[in-house]
Structures are given as C-alpha cells and as structure tokens.
C-alpha cells in the first residue's frame, strides 16, 4: 500500500535564494509531494 503523501507539508522558512525554492519544488515532484509552504519569504529584486 503506497504512503499517503498528501498528509505531509514541506515548509521553507525565509528562503534567501529563489533557486532554493525551485530545487525543493523539483525534488518534491520526484517524490510525489504536493504541499509546499513558504513562510516569511524575502522579496526578490529584479535586476
């Protein structure tokens, strides 16, 4: 019986780099996790 991964949330607290969020999202997709929560994100400046 496969695990019910919908019960789990991945939480990033104050991620500094947008690349970190992207990397976590890709890894979550590889392992069938679907709930990503970001707490206290620092606004990014567009250069």
Checking if the pLDDT of 1 tops 70, the result is no
What is the value of pTM for the model shown? 0.73
CA distance 4 to 33: 9
Residue 14 lies in a domain: yes
Residue 32 has pLDDT above 70, yes or no: yes
Going by pLDDT thresholds of 50, 70 and 90, the confidence category of residue 6 is confident
In this prediction, residues 26-36 reach a mean pLDDT of 95
Residue 45 domain flag? no
The 3-state DSSP class for residue 39 equals strand
Show the domain range for 15.
5-39
CA dist., res. 45 & res. 47, Å (int): 6
DSSP-derived secondary structure for 8-27: --EEEES-S-HHHHHHHHHH
32: in domain:
yes
Residue 46 domain flag: no
Tally of structural domains, the chain = 1
- Residue-wise pLDDT tens digits, 8-26: 999 999 998 889 999 999 9
């Amino acid at each position: 019986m496969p695990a019910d991964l919908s019960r789990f949330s991945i939480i990033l607290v104050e991620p500094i780099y947008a690349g970190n969020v992207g990397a976590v999202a890709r890894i979550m997709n590889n392992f069938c996790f679907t709930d990503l929560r970001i707490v206290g994100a620092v606004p990014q400046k567009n250069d």
